[in-house]
Amino acid sequence: MLWKVLLGTASAVAMMGVSAPAYAGNSQALLKRLHDKGILSDAEYAELAKEDAAEAAAPAAAPVVAGDTTKFVRATDSGIGLQVGPATIKFSGSVNGFYVYDNAAKPGANTAVTGGIASVGGNTSAVRNGLLPGFLKVDATTTQNGWDVGAHFGMYPGINSAAWGALGANNGGQPTALATAGIDFRETYLTIGRKGFGELKIGRAIGLFGSEAILNDITLLSSGPTGGNAAPANTTLGRIGTGYIYTDFQPQMTYTTPSMGGLQASVGVFQPLNSLTAGAQNNSSPGFQGKVTYDGAFDAVKLHLWASGITQEHKFVAGGSYTGQGLDVGARTTYGPVTLVGTYYTAKGLGTTVLNLFDTDAAGKPRSSEGYYVQAALTQGKFTLAGSYGASYLNYTDAADRAANPTLVRVNSSAVGQLRYGLNSWVTLIGEYINSNAKAHNGNSATSDAVALGGILFF
């Protein structure tokens, strides 16, 4: 009806703070004028006047005034996200896929290496994720009472079907019809910080020890050693186990200082991890990790340095204990189109490839290990040519350990050659060749070669 349109128009004009006719905002006057002009009958005027009086007596909602942005939703200045009142919600993510052909070593008595990363068996093809699965991250941040706070969630789905088991989405793959991919929910943490204080992180996030080694690794964008190609898991190995021990995503409470002239430190209390291969454990003490980084520039040379450490006491249910500990150091330097990376780690009671894998002998004595990788990249326009070589070593504890485990891996190594093309700011196309080697303490060895072709998208 016409009177509803007129009332609605008058109210809308008034709420926008725009000048309106004298009757705008005064519905009784408007109703009387409509009645006087014969638009409303006596009965209609009486009923509407009664309803208007009842509405006027009810508590009024807080008006949205000009300049009040707390009720608005708008796009963020950068990235993909939105500002909702006092909070900022941002989305970021990645999708990748590679065709990987793996030329495996032939199985036999001389190619058996316990803990070896080289593929053994028939040649295989796969369409799979690289070292990274896909991921979707959601960050909600705001400032409350002078503190910057945030909630962070990271979901990491793979494109390959998962065979669910003890390792969840990180179990081996299941390349059959009617299977489904797995979601690896790696990140759930909160942050609290302010200028001059630094930041406190509580929740599940990437570890400190070994984190810089993987974050500076060129295979993070691609495949590296496949870690098994016949039934693809959620990810490949990349350079994990051939240059560094995987940092992992772990429950933690970590404090990071403000940057002090390019120098920054982090220290955290971590969920204690049980060994993957030693006897049953019941750990009463937490793990501790720390990291120090430095960023500086000397004329045209940019430098990034790091050192990180880890320590944790492990207690066996049957009695006895050992301490796992490690240290890694590294550097990345950039001069014009050339970037060089080098890193080294040494550990005892951490094992190899992933934390606490083959970390002790049968008697519970901790094994020592070490590893390194070197890497170079040259960028010209949209093309980047890169290569790296790395190795990880695992040692026996004594003669009894040697006698009991003759095929235990002594060294895993890999060489990677990579060509990248930046199609645009979102997509990078990648071709890669990977040579993987595994050698046991008794002389057994296996070598495999793989080619990966695909691409990765970040937003």
CA distance 338 to 379: 7
How is the chain split into domains, by residue range? 2-61, 76-458
What string of pLDDT tens digits covers the 459 residues of the chain? 433 433 343 333 333 333 333 333 456 666 666 666 566 666 666 767 776 666 555 554 455 455 566 667 888 877 899 999 899 999 999 999 999 999 999 999 999 999 999 999 989 999 999 999 999 999 999 999 999 999 999 999 999 887 877 777 777 788 877 677 878 899 999 999 999 999 999 999 999 999 999 999 999 999 999 998 999 988 999 999 999 999 999 999 999 999 999 999 999 999 999 999 999 999 999 999 999 999 999 999 999 999 999 999 999 999 999 999 999 999 999 999 999 999 999 999 999 999 999 999 999 999 999 999 999 999 999 999 999 999 999 999 999 999 999 999 999 999 999 999 999 999 999 999 999 999 999 999 999 999 999 999 999
CA distance 329 to 334: 17
CATH architecture of 76-458: Beta Barrel (2.40)
Instruction: Residue 447: name the closest of 418, 416, 412, 417 by CA.
Output: 412
pTM: 0.82
| CA 189 to the chain's CA centroid | 12
CA distance 428 to 459: 12
Count of C-beta atoms within a 10 Å radius of residue 155: 17
Q: What are phi and psi of 273, to 5 degrees?
A: -100, 140
